[in-house]
Chain A
């Protein structure tokens, strides 16, 4: 295959639709006589509903029906019917299941009215009487009650920590070089620009078309069919465009359940969308408290790694993420002890949020490593190179590829690292202390079975489809590039379709596995199509009759005999000669388990950061950052760069800005709006640079794709934290690093 488009900075094929507004999102599909829902949320964290007063709301003009736990239609009885592809062990939350309140913000009533405004107004008139019970929402007050997580299906993709090796605690205590820390992360909410919405189009008895905001249309299709007892084929879920999701769309959210429930009950089309406050009433990145104790010998070789994490979860599901497994994947150590525990609280179940676990755990790991380097009186880059490994110590398998050393080299050169004075507080500009810090990133390169279909039509156009998702990642674009190269066609003649459960099977899109999974499926479908083309050609033209598949070049939208024994035959001609005037191939892209199982597959990054810290106020500004990423084949350097930049901005946000702050008296988030939940603004973002160090890795998959969704983020928070240390001489291990936490440490005024 000639790679004409793969690897090229092709502009987003859906860019025009997005900037002109012709791209439609879940809440923008209109059908006649659409009804509008609006949700009422609980205002207590735990207890029972005694009474919901609906009289005033019912009296509002246009209100059709109000659903509560008392009158909602029955749905599936068994809990497993509510388990979606990303459901953690436990019992999934069922909206309005009964009168029990299990978290503050839980949906407890839904108004359906003729207009959105009527429904919203009526919702404001609903009052609720509760029998309040004492709730627990503060992780820090209950750390000693943490326990091991339950295991379930989700554990397959998210294994628990490996068994301890050696005597990590004892060796740590005896180590001549030691570093330890306690790392605190608050809760974060995904806050994509597009809020959750479902437009459920009632197509007749037990038949629905649903426009939903999701990272997995088939996940939602299965969920709706299971919960409401509908035939799968009667439930079509469409999600062509997703205005950001970051993991929040990996599970069906409550608006889907409620909109479908109302639609089936009323036999009408219903739309239900969340408002920004309600975006804080379901999943979140869990609060965690981590402790590290790393030890090294006299020459700086790591010999003990202790890393434990306690995270919060809900009372009904054990959400887990991989927090503590990373240190030993990056740094060989004969002694390791990794522990991961949960404490259930009266909160909504946490959810995967961009680089779940990795963005949390690597902060603790990479800051501890930085401290260990200081204790060993070594440059942080040299220290990491001394402890470098091409072998994943947890599985004792080699990495399929790992160009991390080259990442360090290129990023260090670009950044000018050699000019660094290692002494903390040694660099300044006027009132600003300057700090330079680095960190290493790692994320798994996973791949899941995915199906795609390739269809050639007589006009010479190719359409490839898969029920996968593009939530800003560039899936539309890179899949079209892959298909164009696989078929030897002009990109202009190729389109890729996604986001429809009627399309061939794709799992939820997350964990950085979409490009590899869908890319392999697209390749498989194109291969299938090429074989069919040859078969047809063999019946049409004598010169092709004897030709084997390998004798043919599939290029310029036609079949070319490599030995030039005859004229080429165009796809157009072949398709025109078929009865159906189309040629299709639907194929599964399987991970090559035989190849993959002997290796650990991962992406890596090296992040170099410069911060300015105001010496009086403790305000931290990231003035520049260089990220070098080794993530296999980069399909499209333009969309890839955007994805990494997004991760870098997110990293600045995680390190310095974001936190959902709960008032534990109410068990409620108090900064539940984009005015008070601080994401970075343009003025917070300065000089960002991305370097790709390509890897030629045929073990991960034929195309060498590893995925980029998480690797841009994971190392940024620790690199910033390490730069803040270099600037100020103090470790602030409690994220976000706000001015009050830094100020105490800045130079005293007098």
Chain B
């Protein structure tokens, strides 16, 4: 195989320093995506920095503001089945459990989940051009087989989608991401973390080389009374979403007081449209209103040869999921 060095970092600062020192280095935690990419010759890191031994990054702890901190190294399965997550953030639990398989969720970490790469067929196939894998070579998915590709926020350079389920819930919940790096610590709003492809599709997110995610903070509001997660895919399990919807609602006296709708499978990042959520404020939770919100979310959607159906599918999914959330405890 391609040779690479392997170093187990004892703490976050060392990991960040090692990473900063080598621009071809990559962090490895669960490795559920990176090892695949290495075997397929899609990723060829010169150095792997193993962060699994770093203490203190795998906890799930309550915050003074009533929120919850999810350690970057806590496993997806441990997160989904954590009593506080199950009670206060069932939307997150449900989203996590919609993804991958039990084995993968046992291995995968929360930080790693955000860092997973697209599942675009061409990204994985090194015999075909792909701007995300090799900038400047072109996008094969445009004009190719693009069933699983983006209908929103795509560019002429890339129409790939971001595959995570967990991140759709984190986007809906307005989580924040704590990172550390050579220039110190910073906090990134979840919805700012992943980026659209533009003309640099090789960049999935705004993390700088040298930075590592230490934890994810969930705000106090978990929308645990009215939430729903819906994942539509080509088989009932072990397939990535064609369309996934995370919805959280707050209802009062029969009116919507707060709404969150994040969509997966549609774009290069979990897709949220605050205008749609604002539109729903003080509206009754009925189909017509959710349809109008869906239209706002999907405004500007564009389909390709194999995925145009996702525009209508996404609309129906948003409506269904919002109705499910609204009627959850009825």
Give A residues with C-beta under 8 Å from B: 43, 117, 120-121, 124, 431, 616-617, 619, 621, 657, 661-663, 665-666, 668, 670-671, 673, 675-676, 678, 680-684, 738-740, 743-744, 749-750
Contact = CB atoms under 8 A, between A and B. Distances in A.
Contacts of B4: none
A117 B38 CA distance: 13
Nearest to A616: B316
A744 B309 CA distance: 8
Given A124-B41, A665-B143, 11 more contacts: A120-B1, A121-B2, A616-B320, A617-B313, A617-B317, A666-B127, A670-B125, A678-B235, A678-B239, A683-B236, A750-B291
Contacts of A662: 145
25 contacts: A121-B1, A121-B2, A431-B320, A617-B313, A617-B317, A617-B320, A621-B236, A662-B145, A663-B140, A668-B128, A670-B121, A670-B145, A671-B145, A673-B124, A675-B119, A676-B121, A678-B234, A678-B235, A681-B235, A681-B237, A683-B236, A684-B237, A743-B312, A749-B312, A750-B291
- Please indicate which of the listed interface residues A120, A617, A683 has the most CB atoms of chain B within 10 Å of its own CB: A617
By Cβ-Cβ distance, the 9 closest A-B pairs, closest first, are A683-B236, A740-B309, A43-B127, A670-B121, A683-B237, A616-B316, A681-B237, A670-B145, A663-B144
Contacts of B89: none
B122 interface: yes
Interface of B: 1-2, 41, 119, 121-122, 124-125, 127-128, 140, 143-145, 147, 232, 234-239, 242, 291, 309, 312-313, 315-317, 319-320
A739 B313 contact: yes
Nearest to A750: B291
A665 B317 CA distance: 33
Name the prevailing secondary structure of the A interface residues: loop
Contact of A749 (B235, B309, B315): B315
Contacts of B319: 749
Contact of B309 (A43, A621, A682, A743): A743
Nearest to A656: B235
B323 to A, nearest CB: 10
Nearest to B3: A121
Given A121-B2, A670-B125, A750-B291, A684 B235 contact: yes
A665 B234 contact: no
A668 B239 CA distance: 22
Contact of B144 (A43, A120, A670): A670
Contacts of B128: 663, 666, 668
Contacts of A663: 128, 140, 144-145
Name the residue among B119, B143, B232 with the largest chain A CB count within 10 angstroms: B232
Contact of B234 (A657, A668, A749): A657
Contacts of A675: 119, 238
Contacts of B236: 621, 681, 683-684
Contacts of A124: 2, 41
Nearest to B127: A43
A665 B41 contact: no
Contact of A670 (B122, B237, B291): B122
Contacts of B317: 616-617
Contacts of A665: 140, 143-144
Contacts of A750: 291
Contacts of A683: 235-237
A284 to B, nearest CB: 17
Contacts, number: 80
Contacts of A680: 235
Contacts of A749: 291, 312, 315-316, 319
A124 B2 CA distance: 9
B117 to A, nearest CB: 13
Nearest to B124: A673
A671 B146 CA distance: 11
Nearest to A662: B145
A53 to B, nearest CB: 15
B232 A739 contact: yes
Contacts of B147: 661
A739 B235 CA distance: 10
Contacts of A671: 121, 145
Contacts of A657: 234-235
B1 A740 contact: no
Nearest to A615: B316
Contacts of A738: 234
Contacts of A621: 236
B235 A117 contact: no
A681 B121 contact: no
B232 A617 contact: yes
Contacts of B291: 749-750
B238 A617 contact: no
Nearest to A431: B320
A45 to B, nearest CB: 11
B232 A682 contact: no
Given A43-B127, A617-B313, A743-B309, A661 B234 contact: no
A298 to B, nearest CB: 41
A670 B236 CA distance: 21
Given A743-B309, A749-B316, A661 B235 contact: no
B268 to A, nearest CB: 19
B234 A739 contact: yes
Residue from A657, A662, A739, A750 whose CB has the most chain B CB atoms within 10 Å:
A739
Nearest to A679: B235
Contacts of A739: 232, 234, 242, 309, 313
A120 B147 CA distance: 31
Which of B236, B242, B291, B315 is the most central at the interface, judged by chain A CB atoms within 10 Å of its CB? B236
Contacts of B235: 657, 678, 680-681, 683-684
A681 B309 contact: no
A668 B127 contact: yes
Among B143, B144, B145, B237, max chain A CB count under 10 A is at B145
A429 to B, nearest CB: 15
A680 B235 CA distance: 7
A372 to B, nearest CB: 30
A684 B309 CA distance: 22
A668 B238 CA distance: 24
Contacts of B1: 117, 120-121
B246 to A, nearest CB: 17
Contacts of B122: 670
A549 to B, nearest CB: 58
A58 to B, nearest CB: 17
A153 B285 CA distance: 69
A673 B144 CA distance: 18
B95 to A, nearest CB: 17
A738 B306 CA distance: 12
Contacts of A43: 127
Nearest to A118: B1
Contacts of B145: 661-663, 670-671
Nearest to A738: B234
B248 to A, nearest CB: 21
A120 B1 CA distance: 7
Contacts of A684: 235-237
A637 B6 CA distance: 54
A668 B319 CA distance: 38
Contacts of A676: 119, 121
Contacts of A617: 232, 313, 316-317, 320
A674 to B, nearest CB: 9
B36 to A, nearest CB: 9
A739 B241 CA distance: 13
Nearest to B2: A121
Contacts of B234: 657, 678, 738-739
A621 B233 CA distance: 12
A285 B127 CA distance: 24
Interface centre among B144, B235, B309 (most CB of A within 10 A): B235
Contacts of A681: 235-238
B51 to A, nearest CB: 25
Contacts of B232: 617, 619, 739
